[in-house]
Structure 1
Amino acid sequence: MAESRPEELYEAAEQLCHRVAGDGSEEPSVARTVGPIAEALADTRSRDCARFAVDIVGRLLPLGPVRRKEGDRLRRSVAEKLVKTQQLRDLEALFEELPGGLADPAVEVRACILGELAMIGAGYGRPVLDAYAETLRELGHPLARLPRTRLDIEHRFGVRVRGLGSIKTADQLRSRFPEILATESGAAAGRTASETLDGCRARAAAEPFTVSGWVREPEARFFTLPSPLAPDDFAISLIKELPLDCLAGEGTRRGVAVTCRTTPDDVLNELFSAAYNGGVNGQAQGGAYARLYAWNSLYALMGLPVDIPFLEAVRRAVDHRWLRFIAFTDWFHHDTSDVAFAVLDPTRTRVTVLAATDTDAEAD
């Protein structure tokens, strides 16, 4: 029906929106009701289907804080499907009118489409799309600050490799990354660390996990050392001396804590995957916003201001030391997903730790 009579599907969605919005039902049910129609249209290649799908999520869904949140999830999903299915020339026709403000859901869905196009390196250099993107940037849309093409450091975004799932054991971690052995001097240095509290930075670092509904609140902590740390001392021996909730009661599960050296692109990919795939009890965020949340987190891990250009952030990331670690405590579930990173800045005096865990168990 989407192929042969898309206008009838749109009319059905319009009637459903009016009916559900007027019967006193729970607000998010409107998006759930018409979502399958919009997604079916987005998945059917034709200019009419693309336009009707965008009109459903950009014009028909009701507004309001609760409705907007549910609607935004649908808009992100529809935008991703449109970019995967539709021809670029048919999507380009959606951008002929420049946005007048950011409150309009029709503008939001188009911003998501541009974000998804950037993920596949498409759309840049087309005057109509460039003009719309520039207007979004001038209006301050959060997605508009991202590069219009995928950077090399983002090469793993959305790529699944068979046999490389989440890391749940020390042996799995060692098999993928070079292990950094514990040192007594590292432990001694860890005992001299002082914590720096920064709630805003912690929220940004944890954002990929909180927005996607991982079951436990992530732990993001920042520490300062009184003197530069020797590179070999940045290992589990130092991390275990920090007052981290995720390491409390070490040894309550079978296994020995391990740290391994990793790279910025590995960290960025894990942050992207957390938001893109969503937690067990949460919601996938779509490629455009998963990319934004991943970069926000990476900037926070390095303590960079948001006005630092992305390529400069990539350059600075190389000067940091990046670790993955795994621990066997009651904080981690060792079930669905466990992620833990430690970052040492170029001065070798500032340490950031980010840990997150997810499970499909009913109770945390």
Structure 2
Amino acid sequence: MPDLKRVTEVWDTAEHRLAQGDVAFVADLGIALADRYGSSAARIWQYRSVFDRLLRLLTMAPGPGHAEQAVRLVSAASPDNRKLVRYAASLLAEGQTPHDLTFVFAGGSSRAAASEELRACLVHEMVLRGVMIAESPAIEAWATSPHWRHHPLAWMPLELSVIEEKPPLPSYSVGGGSYSMPYGPQDGPGVTLGSVTHLPQVTDTTTEEFSEAAAAAVANWTEESNGRSEAGMYDLAEPVEPEGLPDLLVTLGLECLSRVSPRKRLALSSCRAEHAWRMLFAAASTGGAYNNGEYGAYGRLAAWRSVAALSGVPTAAPVSEVEENAQACGWYSFGAATKWFERVAWDIGLVSVAPGARRMAVLAATDTD
């Protein structure tokens, strides 16, 4: 395979066999290739292209037989590849019905092929797509069982919260996928700085723990792409009025707003907590310029962790408490034409102001291709 100049003939063979009803052949081919190339497979573009095509062929065609072979392929080919498991769960939830995925959680040999990690991811990928877990006894029984309550994803509810509304999810097909980006350069009208004569005294209370939690949604940008992020938490000696927020922001010493001036103006606009969550979820789930993110389940988790930190809530608190605090905060999105922001497509600037306006938190992130 490494000698192939093109892999379309391999794709065509797999599609032809699938059209004839030989679903197992598609999984068998993927497993055989994984066995043949082993640890070197990730470095062979032909293998990556063929394997992805095989997985999409199985997951994008509805039916229990297709779903079972997809799970068999993932479980046999790369059982310890967490990224592949998350990706497969996203594909399965998009391309299969909840009924056709029940076998993953029911008893029998089919269930044995699925890892606990795949089940956990699949539950939340379905939740993100509006599936009512309570309406499927087998799935609900597994999702509410005590043996997985210590899994990181178990912290999140089994239905969408109000703040999540309609998550920006990717649209998959056999040939590829697409997704929306609810963030980017802030090109709205700039705000006039220096018009407020009195600003409250600020105490920087940023901790390493806060910065890490606040940046959870964009960690993949900095770890796997060309991104960078900046986060800060501040206590105010007296309440800040909305009209004073722009001037206050530029006094905080944030690198992302360094040298803001009349020529490099600050754009700031109020937004809803729901919009902030969508931005963070998209950043976490779909990734930056050179990576694919954490996919739906872990993207949801990372978004909630960032919202919790920015809302001033411990990450161990129930999601319901995080949501209540988030909705009580005032939220703003911002950007600036500074050298820090890449201003390509992946720019985030968020400010949350706590009730009473005596505490504020900031998160900025940027990435480029």
| Deviations, residues 136-180 of structure 1 (Å, cap 9, x unaligned) | 7744111222111112211141179x9986442432x68xxxx79
Q: Distance in 1 between matches of 2:327 and 2:196?
A: 27
1:28–1:75 Cα change, 3 Å: farther
Aligned: 1:12 with 2:29: yes
Q: Please give the secondary structure, in 2, of the residue aligned with 1:18.
A: helix
> Structure 1 residues 270-279 or 211-220, which shifts more?
211-220
Q: Distance in 1 between matches of 2:147 and 2:339?
A: 44
Aligned residue pairs total 335
Q: Distance in 2 between matches of 1:339 and 1:256?
A: 16
Aligned: 1:222 with 2:239: no
Aligned: 1:2 with 2:18: yes
Aligned-pair Cα RMSD in Å: 2.9
Aligned: 1:279 with 2:294: no
How far 1:330 sits from its partner (Å)?
Answer: 0.7
> Structure 1 residues 333-342 or 133-142, which shifts more?
133-142
Equivalent residue, structure 2, for 1:151: 161
Q: Distance in 2 between matches of 1:93 and 1:163?
A: 32
For 1:313, the aligned partner's letter is V
Q: Distance in 1 between matches of 2:41 and 2:169?
A: 37
Q: Distance in 1 between matches of 2:333 and 2:255?
A: 17
Mapped contact 2:181–2:282 kept (Cα < 8 A): no
Equivalent residue, structure 1, for 2:59: 42
1:183–1:135 Cα change, 3 Å: farther
The two structures have a TM-score, normalised by structure 2, of 0.81
Equivalent residue, structure 2, for 1:130: 140
Mapped contact 1:180–1:259 kept (Cα < 8 A): no
How far 1:319 sits from its partner (Å)?
Answer: 2.1
Q: Distance in 1 between matches of 2:330 and 2:182?
A: 24
How far 1:9 sits from its partner (Å)?
Answer: 1.6
Structure 1: segments with no counterpart, 5+ residues: 64-70, 99-103
Identity of aligned residues (%): 26
| Deviations, residues 118-153 of structure 1 (Å, cap 9, x unaligned) | 112214222211111123774411122211111221
For 1:217, the aligned partner's letter is R
Mapped contact 1:197–1:221 kept (Cα < 8 A): yes
1:113–1:343 Cα change, 3 Å: same
Structure 2: segments with no counterpart, 5+ residues: 1-16, 171-178
1:266–1:185 Cα change, 3 Å: farther
Equivalent residue, structure 1, for 2:353: 344
Q: Distance in 2 between matches of 1:359 and 1:294?
A: 21
Aligned: 1:55 with 2:72: yes
How far 1:53 sits from its partner (Å)?
Answer: 0.7
Q: Distance in 2 between matches of 1:201 and 1:245?
A: 17
Q: Distance in 2 between matches of 1:183 and 1:326?
A: 19
1:185–1:142 Cα change, 3 Å: farther
Q: Please give the secondary structure, in 1, of the residue aligned with 2:51.
A: helix
Equivalent residue, structure 2, for 1:72: 82
Aligned: 1:241 with 2:251: yes
Aligned: 1:335 with 2:361: no
